């Protein structure tokens, strides 16, 4: 039987250079999609999948993320004095249980692989989920919950993938796959394949279930593309020893680390909100 996925890692130490100047003093993970920080949407996804412990790999200037997942006594007292009980309850609902969060620092932004490696002591010797907080997955079933269902059937390692146009495959990590008893076994992983050489149009979307052996590989991983320690390089090594599966996410994905993805996320999630959608739709129809 597969070991239970109890912990999730959220790497939030990146510099967010694609979203400057917004990210000069504000972490990109704290930018809001409608009225929730991006990181809160992603933590909600992990909670919906039954994750019990939330591990944040932070860096300089990211302390506000820790504050966001903490109690704010002055605010709570003021809300209570003003009778704003609905708001108070909503804040309490979002708060992880005491002792269920860990924060560790990536002292220099050496790449995603290095950020994941920084969580090794907190994760220990168990499989874990990894969620890239700037990739918002929005569908009927939360992405990680679907992955955990699949993981419980076949174990191993898993990455979520989505279809991208053939002309764009050179911008993504791409998986080649084959059917294996109804599951999609990964036959190949390539980071940003040259145009015309891609094994498929299934791009890695930023959700992973990984076995703890990834940490030993990351420990000695050489720097790859962009001079950074790349997670994909370490996964390619792990795939030579362990099963790796792809999980096709059936929903919309917004890359909130990019201005256009962030704007689209706000628009689409805003349109779906019962309290905002009708008014927003009207305002769009009246645009001059």
Q: CB under 8 Å to 272, separation ≥6 — which residues?
A: none
Q: Give min distance, CB of 257 to ligand UTP, in A.
A: 4
Range in contact with ligand UTP (rule: CB under 6 A) among 79-87, 105-113, 166-174, 259-267:
105-113
Q: Does 17 interact with ligand UTP (rule: CB under 6 A)?
A: yes
Q: Does 134 interact with ligand UTP (rule: CB under 6 A)?
A: yes
Q: Does 218 interact with ligand UTP (rule: CB under 6 A)?
A: no
Among 61, 96, 109, 199, interactor with ligand UTP by CB under 6 A: 109
Q: Give min distance, CB of 115 to ligand UTP, in A.
A: 4
Residue 136 or 185: which CB sits closer to ligand UTP?
136
Which ranges of the chain would DSSP assign to H, the alpha helix? 38-48, 63-68, 73-81, 85-94, 112-117, 120-123, 143-154, 214-219, 231-239, 259-272, 277-285
- Three-class HEC string of 31-85: CEECCEEHHHHHHHHHHHCCCCEEEEEECCCCHHHHHHCCCCHHHHHHHHHCCCH
Range in contact with ligand UTP (rule: CB under 6 A) among 78-86, 103-111, 143-151, 177-185:
103-111
Q: Does 257 interact with ligand UTP (rule: CB under 6 A)?
A: yes
Q: Does 39 interact with ligand UTP (rule: CB under 6 A)?
A: no
Q: Does 11 interact with ligand UTP (rule: CB under 6 A)?
A: yes
Nearest CA among 192, 242, 191 for reference residue 216? 242
Residue 19 or 162: which CB sits closer to ligand UTP?
19
Residue 12 or 190: which CB sits closer to ligand UTP?
12
Rounded to an integer, what distance in angstroms lies between the CA atom of residue 288 and that of residue 270? 20
């Amino acid at each position: 039987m597969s070991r239970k996925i109890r912990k999730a890692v959220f790497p939030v130490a990146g510099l967010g250079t694609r979203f400057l100047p917004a990210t000069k003093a504000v972490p990109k993970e704290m930018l809001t999609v409608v009225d929730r920080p991006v990181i809160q949407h992603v933590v909600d996804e992990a909670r919906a999948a039954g994750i019990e412990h939330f591990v944040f790999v932070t860096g300089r200037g990211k302390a506000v993320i820790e504050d966001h997942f903490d109690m704010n006594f002055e605010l709570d007292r003021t809300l209570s004095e003003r009778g704003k009980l609905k708001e108070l309850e909503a804040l309490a609902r979002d708060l992880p249980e005491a002792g269920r969060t860990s924060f560790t620092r990536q002292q220099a932004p050496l790449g995603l692989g290095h950020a994941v490696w920084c969580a090794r002591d907190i994760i220990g010797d168990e499989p874990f989920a990894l969620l890239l907080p700037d990739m918002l997955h929005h569908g009927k079933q939360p992405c990680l919950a679907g992955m955990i269902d699949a993981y419980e059937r076949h174990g191993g390692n898993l990455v979520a993938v989505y279809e991208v146009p053939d002309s764009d495959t050179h911008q993504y990590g791409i998986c080649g796959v084959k059917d294996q008893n109804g599951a999609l076994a990964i036959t190949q992983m390539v980071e940003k394949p040259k145009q015309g050489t891609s094994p498929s149009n299934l791009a890695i979307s930023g959700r992973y279930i990984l076995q703890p052996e990834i940490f030993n590989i990351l420990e000695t991983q050489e720097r790859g593309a962009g001079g950074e320690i790349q997670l994909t390089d370490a996964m390619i090594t792990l795939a030579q020893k362990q099963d790796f599966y792809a999980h096709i996410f059936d929903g919309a994905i917004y890359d909130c680390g990019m201005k256009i993805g962030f704007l689209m996320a706000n628009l689409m999630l805003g349109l779906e909100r019962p309290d905002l959608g009708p008014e927003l739709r009207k305002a769009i129809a009246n645009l001059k």
